Structure 1
Amino acid sequence: MIRAALFLLLALSGAPAAAEEVVMGLSKSSVSISTDFDGSEILIFGAVKREVAIRPDPPLQVIVTVEGPKEPVTVWRKARRLGIWVNSEAVEVDSAPTFYAVATSAPLGEVLSEVEDLRHDISIPRAIRSVGAPMTILDSQSFTNALIRIRERAGLYHLDEGAVQLRESTLFDTAIAMPANITEGLYMTRVFLTRGGKVVASHSTEIDVRKVGLERWLYNLSRSQPLIYGLMSIAIAVLAGWGASAAFRALKSG
């Protein structure tokens, strides 16, 4: 079924072709976040469209990235003061994706050169933009590395080397797992074809991730009516506490 879709994509693509071009598709172009949302998996597949015969050496490789909305992040470093751990130094990361996944057909260091990574911002560190840091902080890169480690543990950043299946240097597919804690927004999906570490073709599209149902209503309420949202949250907390206390007293007296 996937192969049939790939060949259909090739047949319908009427744009003038370069030496090699990417034709890609998604198993779904939108993700709905509801109250019972526990994550999602997106199948990304495609084919290589050519005007010339396949060149066997160097072999073709494929890189797929999925990037969530970007936002500024303040990263703090803790230090021990008078026997307790407190925030001591901070670096403002100008722009970091809320989610970033990279899948490759071979080890990333083999399929992409540092120059091409710098040009296209493909690897996880290159996707994060941190321009400046306080003059008192000499190791600002360690703050960016800490952010990457934290989000890797949360399942929000991951590199899957060898996860892209490439068949006969023509058909490719991979699956990108999106955890339950993703944020809503447009997720940029990019596919790169590389030879000898150099990008020879690329293509991009978007995945729309949105809250629906109760999640959407609460989100909109928190943005449009923050006072009402806050009062409602307090009321729910009070009622929950009262209910738990009443249940405990009933169990104790029984």
Structure 2
Amino acid sequence: MIAPLAAALLALQGQPDLEIGRDTGPRVVAALSQEVVEIRSDFAGAEIILFGAVTDMADDDDLVVVVRGPAMDLRVMRKERTFGIWINRSPVRFEDVPSYYSVASTRPLQEIGAFSALRREGIGLEHLRLSAPETERTEVRLGVEVTVSDIASEVIEYREAISRNRRRDRLFNETTTGVQMLEGGLFRANVALPPATPVGDYTADVYLFRDGRPVASGSVALGVRKAGLERVIYNFAHTHGWLYGLTAVALALLFGWGAAAIFNRR
């Protein structure tokens, strides 16, 4: 671990613009112990280490690490009991919901950054942007455009349901002491990927906060890929969907016929 951290510190000398809104000042560089995670049939989760270095870091500065998975559209429905039967009703479609979202910081977020700064960068589950455009409209109030929900209370419940379910599957996570500061501006944080980790391109962003606002940031990419036979099946299903469907039906009929034949002989 010492060698990669030292390399990260030396790499700062050749880093391009990593600051937010500044040409000079502190700089952040980050790297991962593993840039590609392969998912096979026996995948039970993985833990990778994000490490890096910061220059010109003050004693009161804080670091926040945010890992975001590939975004997807999500259709959420409410279960309602009708004539003794549970039926899904009142669907709401959310756009660009991160399939994975993890936050780690040196201290609780409310002690690190101002509400506006956290909301602007989408840092923390409380500030995660979950947009339902079909239920929202834009209005001008006091000369400022604001987004208003037609069913605000219901949308809030739907958002809470998304967060609750993702937390249960360990796809949403927030750790207030997950970033460990080392000597010389070096840092490290653990990124836990659960068994249900979605496939796709991930981004790990490291924010340096000073006086309640981010003054520098660095980013590193992480790829989660299917491997082995799972990768072949996954690619086949996504590139030839109709043929994959026909093959699945044919195999189901074949195995069903085979099982019936065996039991009839007995």
By the TM > 0.5 criterion, same fold? yes
Deviation of 1:188 after TM superposition, in Å, equals 0.7
Deviation of 1:190 after TM superposition, in Å, equals 0.3
TM-score, normalised by the number of residues in structure 1: 0.86
Work out whether residues 97 and 128 of structure 1, in 8 Å CA contact, stay in contact via their aligned partners in 2: no
- Counterparts of 1:153 and 1:248, CA distance in 2: 41
Q: Aligned to 2:133, what secondary structure does the other structure show?
A: coil
Deviations 1:5-35 (A, max 9, x none): 2222222332478321112111011111222
Counterpart residue number, 1:100: 101
- Counterparts of 2:64 and 2:262, CA distance in 1: 56
Counterpart residue number, 1:60: 61
Deviation of 1:162 after TM superposition, in Å, equals 0.4
- Counterparts of 2:105 and 2:262, CA distance in 1: 54
Counterpart residue number, 2:13: 14
Deviation of 1:192 after TM superposition, in Å, equals 0.7
TM-score, normalised by the number of residues in structure 2: 0.82
- Counterparts of 1:158 and 1:87, CA distance in 2: 27
After TM superposition, list the pairs within 5 Å mapping 1:13-92 onto structure 2: 13-15=12-14, 18-50=24-56, 55-56=58-59, 59-92=60-93
1:114–1:246: structure 2 CA closer, same or farther, 3 Å change rule? Answer: farther
1:196–1:3: structure 2 CA closer, same or farther, 3 Å change rule? Answer: farther
Corresponding residue to 1:182 among 197, 217, 222: 197
Counterpart residue number, 2:172: 157
Corresponding letter in the other structure for 2:46: S
- Counterparts of 1:116 and 1:169, CA distance in 2: 27
- Counterparts of 1:28 and 1:124, CA distance in 2: 25
- Larger mean CA deviation between 33-42 and 6-15 belongs to 6-15
Corresponding letter in the other structure for 1:101: S
- Counterparts of 2:115 and 2:30, CA distance in 1: 25
Work out whether residues 34 and 212 of structure 1, in 8 Å CA contact, stay in contact via their aligned partners in 2: yes
1:247–1:27: structure 2 CA closer, same or farther, 3 Å change rule? Answer: farther
Structure 1 gaps, min length 5: none
RMSD of aligned residue pairs (Cα, Å): 2.4
Number of aligned residue pairs: 245
Structure 2 gaps, min length 5: 16-22, 136-148
1:152–1:94: structure 2 CA closer, same or farther, 3 Å change rule? Answer: same
- Counterparts of 1:246 and 1:105, CA distance in 2: 63
- Counterparts of 2:198 and 2:11, CA distance in 1: 34
Counterpart residue number, 2:210: 195
